């Protein structure tokens, strides 16, 4: 009985989580007047593709926003992969004065909500002429304390004997890092990149605050601009959101096994 109850609970939870996506895709093929009709009709009738055609209207720079977002996400992942992994390695393997204190300061930064620093970041970016540039969205990726902590825990779980043997053979720390640590840390790195991709791809607040040029805007803010004079064009928003979801689904399907393994092996240790 307990197993049946758990199965029913998980089924209901799964439906509750997937229904918004079903509603979004279904509504993208419905006329505006049919989107919010009750009861909900899963198969659109009449079935239209007008909302997808409207996305390509010259008034909207949908593909430009798509391109901007892809560039921003790729740069963020590259910056994060290099700087965060090196920082995590330093905390995990190097011995230097003040290491524990600095790491505690890093952990304390996790307690601070990201939105609490938006004004300060805006002032700094304005002084550095970084507003209205992709770097205003990319640079924070270099200081992602959460993933510094995550990768540090994974690096600690790798036996020290491997590094010590390599050092005895004449390898420096950088060679140990990219020849031994990184290959073993592939599941954790892919997990970090998957989470980072989703967070950067779905970010609305930062592009909205730091990017004002419509030609440089990101996809999330651009989708919110699909509106008419008096009311939002929900059909176009549903269609654009459905297209925006494609990279996330593809990425998850190809990296699912690494994602699960990475979560399972990055426990708190040391």
227 and 243 fall within a common domain: yes
197 and 137 fall within a common domain: yes
202 and 177 fall within a common domain: yes
Residue 175 domain flag:
yes
Residue 51's pLDDT is: 84
Q: List per-residue pLDDT tens for the chain, 270 residues long.
A: 677 888 888 888 888 888 888 888 888 888 877 888 788 788 888 888 888 888 887 777 888 999 999 999 999 999 998 899 998 888 888 888 888 888 888 888 778 777 778 888 899 999 999 988 999 999 888 888 888 888 888 888 888 887 778 777 777 778 888 888 888 888 888 888 888 898 899 899 899 999 988 888 999 888 887 765 445 678 888 888 888 888 888 887 877 666 665 555 554 444
6 and 139 fall within a common domain: no
Look up the domain containing 12 and give its range: 1-48
Residue 31's pLDDT is: 85
Residue 269 domain flag:
no
Distance CA(134)–CA(203), nearest Å, equals: 13
Residue 52's pLDDT is: 87
Residue 234's pLDDT is: 82
Residue 228's pLDDT is: 53
41 and 80 fall within a common domain: no
How many domains does the chain fold into? 2
Residue 86 domain flag:
yes
Residue 45's pLDDT is: 82
Closest CA to 203 of 190, 218, 216, 213: 218
Alpha helices in the chain (DSSP H): 2-27, 50-55, 62-93, 99-109, 118-127, 135-138, 145-157, 160-168, 173-176, 182-184, 186-202, 205-210, 219-224, 234-264
77 in Cβ contact with 197 (< 8 Å):
yes
Residue 70's pLDDT is: 94
32 and 56 fall within a common domain: no
Q: Is 228 left (phi over 0), alpha (psi -120 to 50) or beta?
A: beta
Residue 71's pLDDT is: 94
139 and 212 fall within a common domain: yes
37 and 88 fall within a common domain: no
142 in Cβ contact with 84 (< 8 Å):
yes
Residue 270 domain flag:
no
> What's the token pair of residue 170?
């004449």
State pTM to two decimals: 0.81
Q: What is the CA radius of gyration of the chain?
A: 23
């Amino acid at each position: 009985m307990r197993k049946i109850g758990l199965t029913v609970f998980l089924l209901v939870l799964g439906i509750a989580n997937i229904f918004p996506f079903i509603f979004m895709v279904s509504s993208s093929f419905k006329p505006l007047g049919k989107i919010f009709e009750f009861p909900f009709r899963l198969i659109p009738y009449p079935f239209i593709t007008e909302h997808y055609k409207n996305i390509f209207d010259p008034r909207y720079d949908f593909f430009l926003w798509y391109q901007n977002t892809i560039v921003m996400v790729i740069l963020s992942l590259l910056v994060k992969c290099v700087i965060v992994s090196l920082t995590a390695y330093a905390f995990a393997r190097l011995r230097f004065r003040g290491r524990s204190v600095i790491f505690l300061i890093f952990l304390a930064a996790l307690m601070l909500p990201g939105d609490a620093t938006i004004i300060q970041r805006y002032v700094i970016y304005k002084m550095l002429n970084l507003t209205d540039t992709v770097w205003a969205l990319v640079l924070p990726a270099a200081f992602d304390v959460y993933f510094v902590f995550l990768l540090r825990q994974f690096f600690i779980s790798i036996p020290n004997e491997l590094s010590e043997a390599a050092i005895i053979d004449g390898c420096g720390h950088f060679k140990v890092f990219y020849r031994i640590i990184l290959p073993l840390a592939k599941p954790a790195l892919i997990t970090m990149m998957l989470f980072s991709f989703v967070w950067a791809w779905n970010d609305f607040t930062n592009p909205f605050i730091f990017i004002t040029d419509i030609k440089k805007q990101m996809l999330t803010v651009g989708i919110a601009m699909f509106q008419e004079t008096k009311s939002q064009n929900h059909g176009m928003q549903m269609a654009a959101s459905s297209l925006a979801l494609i990279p996330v689904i593809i990425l998850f399907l190809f990296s699912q096994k690494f994602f699960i393994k990475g979560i399972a092996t990055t426990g708190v240790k040391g």
